[in-house]
Structure formats: structure tokens, C-alpha cells
Amino acid sequence: MSDMNRYHRQMLFQGIGQEGQAHLQSNHVLIVGCGALGSSSAEMLTRAGVGNITIIDRDYVEWTNLQRQHLFTEDDVHQQTPKAIAAASKLKKINSEIDIRPVVIDATAENLAFYVEEADIVIDATDNFDTRFLINDLAHKYRKPWIFGACVGSSGMTFTIIPGQTPCLDCLLKVTPMFGATCDAVGVIGPAVQMVVTHQTTEALKLLIDAKHKINSKLIIFDLWNNHYQTIDVSRAKRTNCTSCGQAPTYPHLSYHGRTKTEVLCGRDTVQIRGKQYPLEMLESKLASYGEVQANPFLVSVDIDEKRLVFFQDGRTFVHGTNSIEDAKKLYYQIVG
């Protein structure tokens, strides 16, 4: 039985109250990405009592994550725990009353559609625009609000996108320049992450309790280090002929030709290959002839000639130590045949 006393201070807040708290507990949030933004958003919404949270992430915990990615520990690094699994484990200890579902997959048009359709809102916590464009098209196809967020260095931006009302991500990109740099290239500080998370989760709470009149309709851009904070009215950016949110949408990013199949992970000296699913036990046995193998229920990894290969349960493979898709595929096929 739920102990509502844990939400006492939140229910005292006039904007939420008992009725709003009941809405939170009956709603479902999808968080796509569980790095800096995703782990912090998940923790804040878990503590707030959102009844159902699904976390999708394709990666596992590494040392560089610990500086800014909440919920993860050194033990998660040693165990190569997938981020979604590590986050869910910690979140269940914070609030055992809610349903937290970790999903270790690479978001594609096919597998992401199911999760977007069943959620009430979507929070963008990704690190690439390929996935954001998928979210954008799926959110408009299924009429789900989603909250864009990004940060790099000491800067960040966020915008709440409501199908049928606001400009979509494609519309925004036509009028607003986005960050060109990445965290891997110029770094990022924790406070910038938390500022984006603060805006995203506040907007999420408003949407979940149906406080539509409180939704921030402006694009927020800030630079904490240089003391800049700006809100921009982008309402005129919405285009009637937009292929994602216009009068006759075709959702181009959901088509086969609009997707990335094999990709270099931004700034990480890593290539991702989406291939056939192999039993992890079989891979563990096969990889043993190449070197020392690390394994857990979600992935198997081995170091070969200054490269590390990490095979995931869903058929993806990370080839660390190269930005060459050709070299990565060559090594991959050398092992799996």
C-alpha cells in the first residue's frame, strides 16, 4: 500500500496538491537515454512518485560517466553494467512503490514505436540527433508530448514539444542553430546537466498533472559559465508543410532510408554494428580464444589488438578503439563469421 506521507511536501505545493499527486502516480513516462540527463531525470521523477517509468539505453557504465551521471557507481563500471539496468536497480531502492522498466536496446523506428505509443510523455535524454528525429516523428505520429533537452560545456537548451500546438524539432532546426560541439570534444560540467534536467522534469510534472496553462512555450538556452540565459519565442517556426508535424506528415525519419545502420559513436572512438543476435554463452566461449573475457547477463566483451569488442544481448556490437567502420566490420566478421 502506498505511503502518501513521502510526498507530503510535494502535495503541499499548490501547483500539485493531492489531485496532482494522484495524476503522477497513474501516468507513464518514457525516458530515452540514461546518461547524464536521463539518470538525473529518472531519479527526480522517481522521487516525485511518477507511477510508471520506462528507461531505454543502449550503453553500459564507464569511468567517464561518473563525473556527471547520477545513480552510477564504480562497481557498475567494474561490472560493465548496462546503464538502464544500473539505474533501475538504484531507483527501486529509492522508491519501491513505482514500476520502473529498464530496456537495453538501441532505439530504432521499429522498437521505439511500442514504447512511445504506450507512454504518456517522452523525455529526450539522448546524445545524438538521429534518435531525436525518431522521437520527434513517433511522438507526432502517436500524439505524445515530448521534451527536448541537450547540454555541452556549460551550455544547455530545452523545449517542450506538443503535437498539434508547437513547432517540432524539424521546425526548430530551420530557424535555430543547435550545438555543433559534443561533450566528448569540449567536455561538460555537472551544473549544466542539472539545469537542463530541472527544466525538463518541471515541464514533465506540468504535463503529467495536465497543467497545460503552465507549460513553457519558449525555447530555453543558457550558458552558466558566461552568465547567459535566454528564452526565445519560436511559435512562428511551426510550418504547415513540415513533413513531421505539418498538415500532411510523412514521418521521413521512420523510413528505412532515413536511418543510420552502422554508425560511429560521437567522439568515442567507437563503431556500433547492428547485427544478428547470438546467445551470450556461445559468444563467451568463442571469445575466450582471443583473450580475457568479461561477461554479465546483458553483454560479453573482450580486448583484441588494442580494440575492445562488446556484444550486447540485442545483437548490437561496440568496437572500441577505431572510427573506421570498415576496420570494425572486418574484426566483427572475423569473430562471428
Q: If 0-12 CB within 10 Å is exposed, 13-18 middle and 19+ buried, where does residue 280 land?
A: middle
Cα separation of 190 and 70, whole Å? 10
Q: If 0-12 CB within 10 Å is exposed, 13-18 middle and 19+ buried, where does residue 174 land?
A: exposed
What is the pTM assigned to this prediction?
A: 0.83
**Pairing relation of β-strands 28-32 and 52-57?**
parallel
Instruction: Give the pLDDT of residue 19.
Output: 95
Quickly list DSSP for 93-137. Answer: HH-TTSEEEEEES---HHHHHHHHHH-SEEEE--S-HHHHHHHHH
CB 188, CB 143: distance < 8 Å: no
Instruction: Give the pLDDT of residue 184.
Output: 61
User: Which of 157, 126, 160, 158 is CA-nearest to residue 144?
Assistant: 160
CB 57, CB 83: distance < 8 Å: yes
E strand or H helix that includes residue 196: helix 190-208
pLDDT tens across 194-237, in order? 999 999 999 999 999 999 899 999 999 999 999 999 999 999 99
Backbone angles phi and psi of 25, in degrees to 5: -70, -20
Cα separation of 278 and 179, whole Å? 37
pLDDT tens across 104-123, in order? 998 889 899 999 999 999 99
CB 222, CB 155: distance < 8 Å: yes
CB 112, CB 22: distance < 8 Å: no
C-alpha pair distances (Å), 207 with each of 132, 160, 200: 20, 10, 11
Q: What domains appear along the chain, each with residue ranges and CATH number?
A: 4-257 (3.40.50.720), 261-336 (3.30.310.10)
Identity at 143, one-letter amino acid code:
R
DSSP 179: P
Instruction: Give the pLDDT of residue 185.
Output: 60
pLDDT tens across 228-263, in order? 999 999 999 999 999 999 999 999 989 865 555 677
Instruction: Point out the residues of the chain with pLDDT beneath 70.
Output: 1-2, 177-185, 256-261, 266-267, 337
